[in-house]
């Protein structure tokens, strides 16, 4: 049996310190574009359907922003114009391949070093040093300063408004991870903006809550069908600290990062949550086998989708415990996920480790779980929207025998983003063939509109549906048969 027909299958493409892409600063535009297309083509080959690309890693921009400087991770020099628009290129290239593009922002981090004077002269953090705080060798916008929060939101929204992104994504960095022996230096902000608060930790959580709740509304207003979600640290609270927490003994996002991740789900502020469950099954302090069911319980009947973050970077790392030396560990995580209907996808961290496929772990995962393509899950709040019109399919010869299809758009019906191709060994009975995961064989980008029937499938019957950007699917087309016989020459 095939897996779910709709399942998020994503990969994080990190740009900070040139983790994944760009692989190094200062590469030519041609090389950068070629490398990024390579990332997308590898994702397609693994039957993925989404990329999460870091476009604002350090209060900078991978697009010509009126708010923040060009990112140093492109050219090597902060503020230096690369001479082209990377974000425009990336979004277009992803969509041409039928991949959803989620814009990944870090809301507060300003610099990987602590000195505000090392920033480009017109950097907003330099012109407004009162917005910033130096901590743990890095520079941050202070979450407790309202002007800093509002500025960061507008800087991120510039990309959301101007580019055709499919989602807005935050990672796990809110208040910084604690540094031993150092208190986060927000005395002045607490004195100025914490009036009426006696519990500074609660005030900090309220500041982060404002960032999340306001950002949800701002994204909805700017791009109503864009997904807004967060990938937090995987433990909210341990049950030894809170009876509602997980049976773990790990660092807690609620206390350590002032991030009430469970609360965001309960309050309906997220379209999805993708906790970073970066631990193996059986780990005593943070067991994947405990945390996946705990998160499933938190998201049940909430309208918030649950996707799990997977630690591909740990596979075959000699510093990691024995389970990470086993080719099947990641596949076992997805085995467990299949028993939890609330989990509707996974995101792999990060791209370079995914493509490396050390000890064949990604090939094993694909063989066990991702053999066939999958549609993106439809957000519950969008499920009642109109789907594309039913496509028309015809058998054609374009140097090969294949299927060409098209679907008219207009009125309430959105344009197709891609087409789902279903194959049947015998002619289906009844007026509507089963458009299910067992028969889904391909997703074809709308710009392509043609399916080249494999030689070993000639003579089979086919139906096609049109699918929009958020996964809404039309009724199946009339069934057609791809002719048997030799491939035309």
pLDDT digits (tens, 9 = 90+) for 27-79: 999 999 999 999 999 999 999 999 999 999 999 999 999 999 999 999 999 99
Q: What is the dihedral of CA 158, 162, 163, 169, to 10 degrees?
A: 20
Instruction: State mean pLDDT over 248-269.
Output: 98
As a whole-number percent, the residues of the chain with pLDDT over 90 amount to 93
Where does the pLDDT of residue 489 fall: very low under 50, low under 70, confident under 90, or very high at 90 and above? Answer: very low
357 in Cβ contact with 363 (< 8 Å): yes
pLDDT tens by residue, 320-376: 999 999 999 999 999 999 999 999 999 999 999 999 999 999 999 999 999 999 999
Percent of the chain with pLDDT over 70: 97
Per-residue confidence (pLDDT) for residue 1, from 0 to 100: 56
Confidence band, pLDDT 50/70/90 cuts, at residue 400: low
Q: Is the dihedral of CA 410, 413, 419, 421 positive or negative?
A: negative
Greater confidence, 305 or 395?
A: 305
Give the model's confidence band at 431: pLDDT under 50 very low, under 70 low, under 90 confident, else very high. Answer: confident
pLDDT of 430 = 82
Is the separation of the CB atoms in 391 and 407 below 8 Å? yes
Per-residue pLDDT, 3:
81
Summarize the confidence of residues 155-179 as an average pLDDT. Answer: 98
Concatenated DSSP letters for 3-42? Answer: --SB-EEEEEE--GGGSSSSSSTT--HHHHHHHHHHHHHH
- Which are the contacts of 355, defined by CB distance < 8 A and separation ≥ 6? 39, 42
Domain boundaries, the chain: 8-380, 385-481
| Residue from 290, 403, 296 nearest 341 by CA | 296
Closest by alpha carbon to 310, among 26, 52, 6? 52
By DSSP bridging, strand 50-56 and strand 8-13 are: parallel
The pairing of beta strand 50-56 with beta strand 100-105: parallel
Q: What is the distance between the alpha carbons of residues 157 and 342, in angstroms, rounded to a whole number?
A: 30
Strand order in the sheet with 392-397: 392-397, 401-406, 450-452
What's residue 487's pLDDT? 46
- The strand ranges marked E within 175-243 are 227-230
| Helix, strand, or coil (residue 221) | helix
Nearest CA to 474 out of 401, 365, 396, 386 is that of 386
User: Reduced to 3 states, what is the DSSP secondary structure of residue 281?
Assistant: coil
400 or 20, which is more confident? Answer: 20
- Evaluate the CA torsion angle 188, 190, 196, 197 in order and state its sign: negative
385-481 is classed CATH 2.60.40.10: yes
Q: Tell me the pLDDT of the chain averaged across its residues.
A: 96
Note whether 465 and 391 are within 8 A (CB).
yes
Q: How confident is the model at residue 458 (pLDDT cuts 50, 70, 90)?
A: confident
Which tops the pLDDT comparison, 485 or 434?
434
Per DSSP (E only), the strands in 64-202 are: 100-105, 109-111, 132-135, 138-141, 167-170
d(CA 315, CA 350): 11
Say whether 385-481 and 8-380 share the same fold: no
- Residue 396: HSE in the Cβ half-sphere, 13 Å Cα cutoff: 13
Top-tier CATH class for 8-380: alpha beta
- Tell me: the pLDDT tens digits for 169-206? 999 999 999 999 999 999 999 999 999 999 999 999 99
pLDDT at 82: 98
In the prediction, which pLDDT does 225 show? 97
Strand ranges inside 312-417, DSSP E: 343-349, 392-397, 401-406
Q: How confident is residue 20, by pLDDT bands cut at 50, 70 and 90?
A: very high
């Amino acid at each position: 049996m095939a897996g779910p027909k709709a399942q998020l299958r994503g990969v994080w493409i990190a740009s900070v310190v040139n983790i994944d892409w760009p692989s190094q600063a200062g590469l030519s535009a041609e090389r950068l574009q070629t490398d990024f297309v390579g990332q997308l083509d590898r994702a397609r080959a693994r039957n993925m359907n989404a990329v999460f690309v870091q476009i604002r890693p350090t209060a900078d921009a991978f697009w010509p922003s009126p708010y923040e400087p060009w990112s140093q991770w492109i050219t090597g020099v902060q503020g230096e114009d690369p001479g082209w628009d990377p974000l425009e290129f990336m979004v277009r290239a992803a969509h041409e391949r039928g991949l959803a593009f989620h814009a990944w922002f870090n809301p507060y981090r300003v610099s990987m070093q602590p000195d505000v004077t090392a920033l480009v002269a017109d950097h907003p953090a330099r012109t407004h040093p009162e917005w910033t705080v130096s901590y743990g060798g890095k520079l941050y916008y202070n979450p407790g300063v309202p002007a800093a929060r509002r500025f960061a939101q507008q800087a991120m929204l510039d990309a959301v408004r101007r580019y055709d992104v499919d989602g807005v994504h935050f990672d796990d960095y809110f208040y910084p991870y604690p540094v031993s022996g150092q208190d986060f230096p927000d005395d002045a902000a607490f004195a100025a903006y914490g009036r009426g608060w006696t519990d500074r930790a609660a005030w900090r959580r309220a500041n982060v809550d404002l960032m999340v709740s306001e950002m949800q509304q701002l994204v909805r207003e700017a791009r109503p069908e864009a997904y807004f979600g967060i990938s937090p640290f995987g433990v909210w609270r341990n049950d030894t600290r809170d009876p509602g927490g997980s049976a773990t003994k790990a660092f807690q996002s609620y206390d350590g990062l002032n991030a009430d991740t469970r609360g965001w789900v309960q309050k309906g502020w997220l379209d999805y949550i993708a906790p970073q469950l970066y631990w193996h099954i059986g780990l005593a302090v943070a067991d994947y086998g405990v945390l996946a069911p705990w998160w499933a319980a938190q998201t049940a009947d909430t309208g918030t989708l649950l996707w799990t973050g997977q630690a591909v970077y740990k596979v075959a790392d000699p510093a990691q415990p024995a389970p990470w030396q086993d080719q099947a560990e990641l596949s076992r995580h997805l085995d467990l996920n299949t028993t939890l209907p609330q989990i509707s996808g996974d995101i792999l961290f990060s791209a370079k480790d995914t493509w490396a496929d050390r000890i064949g772990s990604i090939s094993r995962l694909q063989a066990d779980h991702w053999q066939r393509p999958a549609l993106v899950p439809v957000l519950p709040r969008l499920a009642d929207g109109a789907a594309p019109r039913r496509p028309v399919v015809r058998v054609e010869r374009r140097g090969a025998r294949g299927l060409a299809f098209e679907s008219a758009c207009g009125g309430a019906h959105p344009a197709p983003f891609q087409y789902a191709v279903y194959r049947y060994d015998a002619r289906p009975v009844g007026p509507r063939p089963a458009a299910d995961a067992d028969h889904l064989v391909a997703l074809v980008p709308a710009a392509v509109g043609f399916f080249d029937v494999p030689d070993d499938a000639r003579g089979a019957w086919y139906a096609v549906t049109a699918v929009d950007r958020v996964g809404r699917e039309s009724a199946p087309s009339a069934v057609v048969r791809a002719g048997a016989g030799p491939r035309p020459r």
